[in-house]
Amino acid sequence: MTPANPLPKLTLVLGGARSGKSRHAEALVEAQAAPWVYVATAQAFDTEMEARIAEHRARRPEGWITRDAPLELPEAVIAGPAGAPILVDCLTLWVTNLILAQRDVAAAGEALLAACRAVPGPVVLVSNEVGLGIVPDNALARRFRDEAGRLHQRLASEADSVLFMVAGLPMRVK
Amino acid sequence: MTPANPLPKLTLVLGGARSGKSRHAEALVEAQAAPWVYVATAQAFDTEMEARIAEHRARRPEGWITRDAPLELPEAVIAGPAGAPILVDCLTLWVTNLILAQRDVAAAGEALLAACRAVPGPVVLVSNEVGLGIVPDNALARRFRDEAGRLHQRLASEADSVLFMVAGLPMRVK
Amino acid sequence: MTPANPLPKLTLVLGGARSGKSRHAEALVEAQAAPWVYVATAQAFDTEMEARIAEHRARRPEGWITRDAPLELPEAVIAGPAGAPILVDCLTLWVTNLILAQRDVAAAGEALLAACRAVPGPVVLVSNEVGLGIVPDNALARRFRDEAGRLHQRLASEADSVLFMVAGLPMRVK
């Protein structure tokens, strides 16, 4: 059965904290035929993060195949099942993990794009927009902000659809 | 007399600091027939805040009925006069006050929505978007950001009109 | 030769860090006939800033006349050549420099607007949106945020075109 609103090949959902990014992205994927693949980049370092992960997980209905990929995201994207819609949540945590592991973020971004192109189904990437506040005091936060911003630009240039979430509502950027 | 641009029942005006939210919301309300009700949530804790409050107050013309409601916002919304357009400025300070008073923000948000539905006139809610910078260092700021974001999503889902202000100009989100 | 997409008299390009503001603004100007005037407000206080300036400079092709104006921006805008498209990058650094030099930011903004009106060619102003995060801890950062926000509103009210950049893509605000 063809879904009412087929997803384009690559969708990028950007937005601030608690802007409804994950919920909107999940709704986009769940409008397609199951099964759906959920690739989680979060690593629980503390109880606050554990609670956030648990809250996200509890919200998702049956039909989701969940896969953890704090670092090896391209591999998780191509792991199948073939043709299943894929949701990656979220790229900002992935960038954090890459920086902490001293990986090349730009090269990893290209590998992610190649993986998105290699799979037959649609991919939805969720990421936090973090560059709209005052310049952070510490150099690591500035580096993270720069790497995330550059990755967003690169992915947005290749994406078929780019959404900017405000208060749970999508604004179409592309 | 029917105003040229009647306001919908519920309008949410979001934006960053100094994005022209208050000014735009005031203009929306002042385009309706007076009297207008101004519900202020600000509590002046220091001279910087006092100066901001005085600046906002000095800008407003005759015709405004001003009411302070740092915590009891739903009560202030339904206090009349019946049918008068109501401006609430701003929700972010209300959320701060609620957290400091150890109130349940989600329950308060539902009470606010009920009050907005109960009054016969239009309501314009102003709030700061605070989730688009780097993750804050301290847990209280993160909690505030989460509570504000969740409240925005809930109100936006019920609002007839949602605006995102950039440099004094409204972008229509809904 | 008339360019395919003539620029309006005054364009304001806003966006977060690494949102592709400079690149987009450069593309707008480079679509006009050369020579183009690049007015840089950056002052390199440290090696991180030096690296950013060098990266921006290396990206720009032949045809640009570069001028440094950490403070005397209006003078740099009217310095000619007459009719050449002008790119100012960026206003947020200019505001920082003005505050540190204890100049009146509002008066400087009016002088900038007058200079933009006085030149015969189009002007593109680039600036960082910094007001969408948590309220900064320190008073100087809050003052900077307020001054920048007020300047953006003033310029946007006079601009023919206002763009908000998200992940390298322009959203039209005006």
> Of residues A43 and B86, which shows the higher confidence score?
B86
Tell me, what amino acid is at C164? F
Q: How many CB atoms lie within 10 A of CB B61?
A: 9
Chain A environment of C16 (Cβ under 8 Å): 129-132, 149
- Residue A1: per-residue pLDDT: 47
Average confidence score pLDDT of chain B? 93
The set of residues, in sequence order, having a beta carbon less than 8 Å from that of C141 and lying 6+ positions away, is: A134
Q: Taking residues C88-103, report their average pLDDT.
A: 96
- Residue C3: per-residue pLDDT: 55
Whole-angstrom distance, CA of residue A79 vs CA of residue C149: 47
Q: Residue B16 annotated as binding?
A: yes
Chain A environment of C148 (Cβ under 8 Å): none
CA distances to A1, A25, A47 from A38, in Å: 21, 11, 22
The set of residues, in sequence order, having a beta carbon less than 8 Å from that of A28 and lying 6+ positions away, is: A5, A7, A11, A13, A124
Residue C126 in any domain: the answer is: no
Q: Which residue of B has its CA nearest to C165?
A: B166
Which ipTM was obtained for this model?
A: 0.91
- Residue A3: per-residue pLDDT: 54
- Residue B29: per-residue pLDDT: 97
Please indicate if any CB of chain A lies within 8 Å of the CB of B133: yes
- Interface with chain A: mutation pick from B12, B113, B132, highest number of A CBs within 10 Å: B132
Whole-angstrom distance, CA of residue C87 vs CA of residue C64: 10
Can you give the residue range of the structural domain that contains A23?
Answer: 10-172
Whole-angstrom distance, CA of residue C56 vs CA of residue C84: 20
Cβ contact C153–B131 (<8 Å): no
Q: What percent of chain C has pLDDT over 70?
A: 98
Residue C6 in any domain: the answer is: no
Report pLDDT digits (tens) over B95-139: 999 999 999 999 999 999 999 999 999 999 999 999 999 888 888
Report pLDDT digits (tens) over C45-93: 788 778 877 887 787 788 999 999 999 999 999 998 999 999 999 999 9
Return the number of CB contacts < 8 Å for A and B: 72
Residue B93 in any domain: the answer is: yes
Q: Which residue of A has its CA nearest to B147?
A: A18
Cβ contact B130–C129 (<8 Å): no
- Residue B3: per-residue pLDDT: 55
Cβ contact B156–A166 (<8 Å): yes
Question: Could you say which residues from 12 to 41 on chain A have a Cβ atom under 8 Å away from some Cβ of chain C?
Answer: 12, 14, 16
Q: Label residue C18 left, alpha or beta by phi (over 0 means left) and psi (-120 to 50 means alpha).
A: left
DSSP A4: S
Residue C35 in any domain: the answer is: yes
- Residue A160: per-residue pLDDT: 98
The number of folded domains in chain B is 1
Residue B126 in any domain: the answer is: yes
Chain B environment of A131 (Cβ under 8 Å): 132-133
- Residue A108: per-residue pLDDT: 98
Query: Quick one: pLDDT band at residue C1, thresholds 50, 70, 90?
Result: very low
Question: Alpha helix locations (H) across chain C?
Answer: 21-30, 47-59, 73-77, 91-100, 105-118, 139-158
A116 cis-preceded (ω within 30 degrees of 0) = no
Residue A106 in any domain: the answer is: yes
Angle between helices A139-158 and A105-118 (to 10 degrees): 30
Whole-angstrom distance, CA of residue C26 vs CA of residue C17: 16
Q: Which residue of B has its CA nearest to A172?
A: B173
Please indicate if any CB of chain B lies within 8 Å of the CB of A129: yes
> Of residues B48 and A89, which shows the higher confidence score?
A89
- Residue A98: per-residue pLDDT: 97
- Residue A53: per-residue pLDDT: 77
If we measure between CA atoms, which residue out of C81, C79, C63, C74 comes closest to residue C27? C63
Cβ contact B135–A130 (<8 Å): yes
Please indicate if any CB of chain A lies within 8 Å of the CB of C63: no
Cβ contact C149–B48 (<8 Å): no
Q: Which residues of C are known binding-site members for GTP?
A: 15-22, 40-42, 57-60, 89
Cβ contact C145–B171 (<8 Å): no
**Min distance C34 CA to chain B CA atoms (Å):** 30
- Residue C11: per-residue pLDDT: 98
Give the strand pairing for A169-172 and A161-166: antiparallel
Q: Which residue of C has its CA nearest to B163?
A: C173
Cβ contact B144–C155 (<8 Å): no
Residue A3 in any domain: the answer is: no
- Residue B4: per-residue pLDDT: 58
Whole-angstrom distance, CA of residue A68 vs CA of residue C79: 57
- Residue A50: per-residue pLDDT: 82
Q: Of A20, A130, A167, which has the smallest distance from its Cβ to B14's Cβ?
A: A167
Please indicate if any CB of chain B lies within 8 Å of the CB of C153: yes
Please indicate if any CB of chain A lies within 8 Å of the CB of C139: no
Whole-angstrom distance, CA of residue B96 vs CA of residue B71: 10
Q: What CATH number should be reported for the domain holding residue B108?
A: 3.40.50.300
If we measure between CA atoms, which residue out of B110, B37, B126 comes closest to residue B79? B37
The set of residues, in sequence order, having a beta carbon less than 8 Å from that of B47 and lying 6+ positions away, is: none
Report pLDDT digits (tens) over C154-168: 999 999 999 999 999
Give the strand pairing for C10-15 and C123-128: parallel
Q: Taking residues B141-145, report their average pLDDT.
A: 93
Cβ contact C133–A132 (<8 Å): yes
Q: Residue B18 annotated as binding?
A: yes
Would you please indicate which residues of C are annotated as catalytic (active-site) residues? 56
Cβ contact B18–C129 (<8 Å): no
Per-residue burial over A36-51, b if 16 or more Cβ lie within 10 Å, else e, is bbbbbbbeeeeeeeee
- Residue B142: per-residue pLDDT: 92
Whole-angstrom distance, CA of residue A23 vs CA of residue A56: 9
Q: Which parts of chain A sit beneath pLDDT 70?
A: 1-4
**Min distance A133 CA to chain B CA atoms (Å):** 4
Q: How many CB atoms lie within 10 A of CB A27?
A: 10
Residue B4 in any domain: the answer is: no
- Residue A60: per-residue pLDDT: 79
**Min distance C3 CA to chain B CA atoms (Å):** 29
Q: Residue B19 annotated as binding?
A: yes
Give the strand pairing for C86-89 and C36-40: parallel
